[in-house]
């Protein structure tokens, strides 16, 4: 419990500091904040006034930050600087695609990463060599390049999958997001498969596994209960950080497949120099990233009794 | 026979032999690949058949042939030449990232390890906060603020890489710092800075080098991704990430040369650096298993 | 009961291809109910001999010779037959109890697994038997220990659990591999005494591997001295002590730490 509280506390600190970085970054640019926010666009005096209110530019600096943060916590990210749309509404409309894509890719990473790793770790031969080679190469393939290749082969040449749009309904989304999810998952999948394989190999040579064999425990149990189960403990942390990373790097894939997720919105906003939207998305991603990592740490503590119960005297 | 009479070639073969033992055959292949890529980059004006911007729309999408080994792109520029020229910015970005990361991370790690106590825990906290930021998001934020450029993206990524590198280096430096000979040196009144540079730095150097090798691959992928998004290197410059992106529509029309050539260049380079990094860093870890 | 005939073991290093000879053609026999001490310095091949009996030698090994348990060729056993033999007739007590129990499973699971999953005893009976076994090796709070995880218990406590697991099958042959070496000096004697007592009670045979000549002499009927993978001498503790035949045995005898110098 102490552990949980200390982790929560440091996460809060991280949120405060990173929100401050996200907020105050714009003041690093020389020139007035209005100029930065407007970026040479011609705007009406009313719009300029509302931007001044949105960023409370008439208040002292810390008050500005406080106002911005408190409204952000309440879900109010102000209005887009270019289209004047409500940022929260924009995000709400875009979030489902990103979440679906990330979860889909996450499932692929878990199922195929662990699956291939376990198979490669427990038997030797051609299959293992293929997995080792594939995982070494897999992490070197940039997601956007994989995206283009998948698009060209399965979308263009074979015509099995759509290459744009996010689809509607669960089935439609699943269908539309298959290629993006595969592209997004590949590097992480490769890393997870490789680490799983190494971990399984190490575990299968460990004393307690050898002892289980020597005691005549059935093969199936030695494999699953003692070897695979134990070897997956360190893998969970790796998977966790990769799930968080999937979320943070989904925008490249969303952009490549022109999906309507918040990542594509982020890229768009950077291109259009719409800093209000950039800030909102950056903040949300940092929070999500932090929460996922926290969840993984806690999960690890739950599944490993050595951490859960601590050392007894 | 005096040492100076040993032929230089045999000295090279000694070094090569040592590297071979360390990296393995595949590792030597990777070193060779990287050497070729670096040479190509430096000698681009001599090697590239055409200039990076040379070509006319009349020659667009030519199939690979004698004049254009890898064909031409949608503007009629020679793909091979652009891959060769593009190596410059594609390698420069990651180079900036790893050098800046190594300098910052080493400075922070050695400071933390030397002073320990409050300084150490304060720096640790700072790194924790930084760690909470996804690298590529930090880069995007920097680009949103300062505008798209390779330098901005590289510096932002470098800052994102510091926490991890610094932690690794710190732990090794700390182990070294606590050895008795360091205490002996301190008692002789040698300045902390001198001890750190003369004794601790050489001992963490392998970690720094391994980190640089591994980071190079990651940085290359992330910078290429930013260029792909139009947030890094700007057209019409030749850059691998940008080429993959600008070849996208051609690819879907059935002219894959540009995207595929540039993409493969990234894959090969990253894989080569990744493998060497793993060999360098993995030896230690591998020794633990039995 | 157990016959080891011309046992050879060599291991090939997968990286360098170098072959090292670990055991060089050793033979010995063990009568029913007899305890044999296998002594020698580390690396002499004592533990490897046990691993060969169990068929759990490291990867890259090639084994020659015969090992027979009551006339059955152990090295020829495969699959289910081998598993049942390991589960019912043999039992290993390894050196470090902290590393032989699965760290993420409760101790009770270790005992249960040996009885119900390796030897198909009904679960309910195995559960009862677990507590009985723990009490029989001197663990009073058996319920608490059964629920504990390995990292929560001391080495001495865990080694008792391992002994309990080993005797639970009433195996024909106990294979004890330096069972007290990893323990605190204070618990070493206790654990050795429990092991000795349990073995005599059930009249099990035992191979007791140790580098401690005195300890081996105390719990064994005969001693076998090994060096560099070779069995150099075999005899009763008295014979070994009073009239060592091999020069190495004499060295080993003289190398013992002496509590009472006047003895020598």
The per-residue pLDDT for C186 is 84
pLDDT digits (tens, 9 = 90+) for B93-136: 999 999 999 999 999 999 998 888 889 988 988 888 777 778 88
Note whether A215 and A265 are same-domain residues. Answer: yes
Neighbours, chain C (3 or more CB pairs < 8 A)? A
Count of domains observed in chain B: 1
Note whether A153 and A226 are same-domain residues. Answer: yes
User: The domain spanning residue A136 has which CATH number?
Assistant: 1.10.3720.10
pLDDT digits (tens, 9 = 90+) for A139-180: 889 999 998 888 888 877 777 777 777 777 777 788 788 899
Q: Is A33 in the B-facing interface, judged by CB distances under 8 Å?
A: no
The two most distant CA atoms of chain A are separated, in Å, by 83
In a domain, A83, yes or no: no
Note whether A68 and A103 are same-domain residues. Answer: no
In a domain, B290, yes or no: no
Whether A71 has a pLDDT exceeding 90, the answer reads no
Greater pLDDT, A291 or A162: A291
The per-residue pLDDT for C109 is 92
In a domain, A312, yes or no: no
Rounded to a whole number of angstroms, the distance from the CA of B260 to the nearest CA of chain A is 8
Note whether A67 and A93 are same-domain residues. Answer: no
CA-to-CA distance for A149 and A182, rounded, in angstroms?
11
In a domain, A166, yes or no: yes
pLDDT digits (tens, 9 = 90+) for C131-186: 999 999 988 888 999 999 998 998 899 999 999 999 998 899 999 998 888 888 88
User: The domain spanning residue B213 has which CATH number?
Assistant: 1.10.3720.10
Chain B: residues touching A (Cβ < 8 Å): 125, 128-129, 132-134, 136-137, 140-146, 148, 217, 221, 224-225, 228-231, 241, 244-245, 247-248, 251-252, 254, 256, 259-260, 263, 266-268, 270-271, 274-275, 289-290
Note whether A183 and A65 are same-domain residues. Answer: no
Whether B209 has a pLDDT exceeding 50, the answer reads yes
Instruction: Sketch out chain C's domains with CATH numbers.
Output: 1-89+207-257 (3.40.50.300)
The per-residue pLDDT for B289 is 26
Count of domains observed in chain A: 2
187-206 of A, contacting C, C-beta below 8 A: 206
Q: Is A285 in the B-facing interface, judged by CB distances under 8 Å?
A: yes
Residue A25 to residue B141, Cβ atoms within 8 A: yes
The per-residue pLDDT for B202 is 87
Note whether A96 and A52 are same-domain residues. Answer: no
Rounded to a whole number of angstroms, the distance from the CA of A267 to the nearest CA of chain B is 7
Bridge partners (DSSP) listed for residue C231: C226
Establish, for the pair of chains A and B, how many residue pairs have beta carbons separated by less than 8 Å. Answer: 138
The per-residue pLDDT for A107 is 95
Alpha-helical regions (H) of chain C:
46-54, 79-88, 97-100, 107-112, 118-119, 123-136, 142-147, 155-167, 185-202, 213-219, 237-242, 247-254
pLDDT digits (tens, 9 = 90+) for C39-60: 888 888 888 998 999 888 888 8
Q: Is A208 in the C-facing interface, judged by CB distances under 8 Å?
A: yes
Whether B283 has a pLDDT exceeding 70, the answer reads no
pLDDT digits (tens, 9 = 90+) for C55-92: 888 888 889 889 989 988 988 888 888 999 999 999 99
The SS3 call for residue C7 is strand
The per-residue pLDDT for B286 is 33
Note whether A111 and A219 are same-domain residues. Answer: yes
Q: What is the H or E stretch that residue C35 is in?
A: strand C35-39
The per-residue pLDDT for B54 is 76
Chain C: residues touching A (Cβ < 8 Å): 54, 56, 83-88, 90-92, 94, 96, 99-106, 113-114, 117-119, 148-149, 151-153, 165
CA-to-CA distance for A48 and A50, rounded, in angstroms?
5
Note whether A143 and A209 are same-domain residues. Answer: yes
Taking CA atoms, what residue in A is nearest to C106? A305
Note whether A117 and A62 are same-domain residues. Answer: no
Rounded to a whole number of angstroms, the distance from the CA of C147 to the nearest CA of chain A is 12
CB A183 within 8 A of CB A146: yes
In a domain, B57, yes or no: no
Note whether A202 and A144 are same-domain residues. Answer: yes
Whether B287 has a pLDDT exceeding 50, the answer reads no
Residue A230 to residue C94, Cβ atoms within 8 A: no
CB C118 within 8 A of CB C164: no
Greater pLDDT, C95 or B72: C95
In a domain, A310, yes or no: no
CA-to-CA distance for C23 and C51, rounded, in angstroms?
12
Hey, what are B71's tokens?
């064909």
Residue to substitute from A194, A203, A261, A270, interface B, most B β-carbons within 10 A: A270
The per-residue pLDDT for B290 is 22
The per-residue pLDDT for C258 is 64
Greater pLDDT, B92 or B285: B92
Of A136, A23, A11, A21, residue with least CA distance to A71: A23
Residue A290 to residue B140, Cβ atoms within 8 A: no
The per-residue pLDDT for B9 is 63
Query: What phi, psi does C62 have (nearest 5°)?
Result: -125, 130
Q: Is A221 in the C-facing interface, judged by CB distances under 8 Å?
A: yes
The per-residue pLDDT for C259 is 61
Taking CA atoms, what residue in A is nearest to C177? A211
pLDDT digits (tens, 9 = 90+) for A232-283: 888 888 888 888 889 888 889 999 888 888 989 999 988 888 888 898 999 9
pTM of the model: 0.83
Range of the domain at B143: 78-284
In a domain, A84, yes or no: no
In a domain, A45, yes or no: yes
Computed over every residue of chain C, the mean pLDDT equals 87
Residue to substitute from A206, A214, A223, A302, interface C, most C β-carbons within 10 A: A214
In a domain, A81, yes or no: no
Count the Cβ atoms, other than its own, within 10 Å of residue A63.
11
The per-residue pLDDT for B268 is 93
Residue A145 to residue B259, Cβ atoms within 8 A: yes
Whether C23 has a pLDDT exceeding 80, the answer reads yes
In a domain, B195, yes or no: yes
In a domain, A153, yes or no: yes
Range of the domain at A94: 89-304
Neighbours, chain A (3 or more CB pairs < 8 A)? B, C
Taking CA atoms, what residue in A is nearest to B140? A270
Domain boundary among A49, A73, A97: A73
Half-sphere exposure of C138 (CA within 13 A, CB side): 16
C-alpha A288, offset from chain centre = 8
CA-to-CA distance for A210 and A189, rounded, in angstroms?
30
CA-to-CA distance for A15 and A78, rounded, in angstroms?
19
Note whether A29 and A117 are same-domain residues. Answer: no
Q: Which of A208, A225, A306 sits opposite C151 (nearest CB)?
A: A306
Domain boundary among A47, A73, A99: A73
Count the Cβ atoms, other than its own, within 10 Å of residue A207.
16
Computed over every residue of chain B, the mean pLDDT equals 83
Among the residue ranges A17-26, B12-21, B249-258, C60-69, the one predicted with the least confidence is B12-21
In a domain, B102, yes or no: yes
Note whether A104 and A235 are same-domain residues. Answer: yes
In a domain, B51, yes or no: no
Residue A252 to residue B290, Cβ atoms within 8 A: no
Q: Is A218 in the C-facing interface, judged by CB distances under 8 Å?
A: yes
């Amino acid at each position: 419990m102490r552990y949980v509280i200390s982790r929560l506390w440091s996460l809060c600190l991280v949120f405060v500091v990173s929100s401050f970085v996200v907020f105050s970054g714009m003041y690093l640019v020389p020139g007035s904040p209005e100029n930065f926010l407007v970026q040479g666009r011609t705007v009406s005096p009313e719009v300029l006034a509302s931007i001044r209110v949105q960023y409370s530019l008439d208040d002292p600096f810390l008050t500005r930050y406080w106002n911005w943060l408190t409204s952000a916590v309440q879900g109010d990210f102000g209005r887009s600087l270019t289209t004047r749309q409500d940022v929260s509404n924009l995000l709400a409309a875009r979030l489902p695609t990103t979440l679906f894509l990330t979860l889909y890719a996450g499932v692929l990473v878990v199922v195929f990463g662990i699956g291939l790793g376990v198979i490669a770790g427990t038997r030797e031969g051609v299959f293992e060599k293929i997995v080792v080679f594939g995982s070494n190469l897999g992490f070197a393939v940039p997601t956007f390049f994989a995206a283009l290749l998948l698009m060209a082969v399965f979308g263009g040449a074979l015509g099995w999958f759509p290459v744009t749009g996010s689809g509607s309904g669960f089935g439609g989304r699943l269908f539309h997001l298959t290629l993006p999810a595969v592209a997004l998952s590949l590097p992480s999948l490769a890393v997870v498969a490789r680490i799983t394989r190494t971990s399984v190999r190490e575990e299968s040579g460990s004393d307690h596994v050898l002892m289980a064999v020597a005691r005549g425990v059935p093969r199936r149990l030695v494999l699953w209960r003692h070897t695979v189960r134990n070897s997956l403990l360190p893998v969970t942390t790796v998977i966790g950080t990769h799930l968080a990373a999937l979320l943070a790097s989904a925008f490249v894939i969303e952009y490549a497949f022109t999906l309507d997720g918040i990542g594509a919105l982020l890229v768009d906003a950077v291109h259009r120099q719409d800093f209000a939207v950039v800030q909102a998305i950056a903040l949300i991603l940092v929070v999500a990233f932090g929460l996922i990592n926290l969840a993984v740490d806690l999960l690890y503590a739950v599944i490993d009794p050595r951490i859960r119960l601590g050392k007894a005297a | 026979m005096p040492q100076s009479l040993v032929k230089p070639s045999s000295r090279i073969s000694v070094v090569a032999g040592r590297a071979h033992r360390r990296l393995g055959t595949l590792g030597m292949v990777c070193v060779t690949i990287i050497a070729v890529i670096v040479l190509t980059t430096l000698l681009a004006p001599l090697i590239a058949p055409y200039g990076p911007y040379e070509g006319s729309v009349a020659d667009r999408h030519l199939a690979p042939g004698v004049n254009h080994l890898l064909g031409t792109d949608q503007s009629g520029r020679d793909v091979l030449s652009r891959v060769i020229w593009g190596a410059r910015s594609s390698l420069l970005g990651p180079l900036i990232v790893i050098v800046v990361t190594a300098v910052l991370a080493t400075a922070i790690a050695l400071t933390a390890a030397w002073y320990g106590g409050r300084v150490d825990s304060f720096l640790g906290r700072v790194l924790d906060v930084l760690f909470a930021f996804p690298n590529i998001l930090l880069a995007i934020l920097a680009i949103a603020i300062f505008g798209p450029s390779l330098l901005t993206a590289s510096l932002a990524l470098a800052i994102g890489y510091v926490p991890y590198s610094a932690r690794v280096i710190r732990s090794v430096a700390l182990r070294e710092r606590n050895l008795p000979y360091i205490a002996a040196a301190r008692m002789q009144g040698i300045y902390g800075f001198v001890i750190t540079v003369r004794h601790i730095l050489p001992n963490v150097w392998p970690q720094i080098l391994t980190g640089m090798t591994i980071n190079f691959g990651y940085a290359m992928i992330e910078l290429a991704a930013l260029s792909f998004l139009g947030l890094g290197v700007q057209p019409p410059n030749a850059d691998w990430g940008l080429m993959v992106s600008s070849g996208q529509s051609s690819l879907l029309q059935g002219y894959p040369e540009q995207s595929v050539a540039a993409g493969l260049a990234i894959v090969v380079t990253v894989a080569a650096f990744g493998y060497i990094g793993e060999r360098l860093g993995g030896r230690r870890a591998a020794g633990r298993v039995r | 009961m157990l016959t080891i005939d011309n046992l050879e073991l060599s291991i090939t290093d997968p990286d360098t291809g170098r072959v090292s000879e670990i055991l060089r053609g050793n033979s010995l026999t063990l009568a029913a109910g007899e305890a044999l001490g296998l002594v020698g310095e580390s690396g002499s091949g004592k533990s490897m001999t046990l691993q060969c009996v169990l068929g759990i030698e490291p990867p890259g090994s090639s084994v020659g010779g015969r090992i027979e348990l009551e006339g059955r060729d152990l090295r020829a056993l495969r699959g289910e037959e081998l598993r049942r033999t390991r589960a019912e007739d043999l039992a290993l007590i390894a050196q470090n109890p902290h590393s032989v129990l699965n760290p993420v499973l409760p101790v009770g699971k270790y005992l249960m697994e040996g009885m119900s999953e390796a030897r198909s005893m009904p679960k309910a009976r195995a559960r009862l038997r677990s507590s009985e076994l723990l009490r029989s090796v001197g663990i009073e709070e058996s319920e608490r220990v059964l629920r504990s995880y390995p990292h929560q218990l001391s080495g001495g406590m865990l080694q008792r659990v391992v002994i309990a697991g080993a005797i639970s099958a009433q195996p024909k042959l106990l294979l004890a591999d330096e069972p007290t070496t990893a323990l605190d000096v204070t618990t070493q004697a206790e654990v050795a005494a429990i092991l000795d007592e349990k073995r005599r009670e059930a009249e099990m045979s035992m191979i007791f591997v140790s580098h401690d000549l005195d300890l081996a002499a105390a719990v064994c009927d005969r001693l076998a001295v090994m060096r560099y993978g070779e069995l150099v001498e075999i005899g009763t503790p008295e014979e070994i002590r009073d009239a060592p035949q091999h020069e190495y045995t004499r060295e080993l005898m003289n190398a013992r730490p002496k509590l009472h110098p006047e003895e020598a």
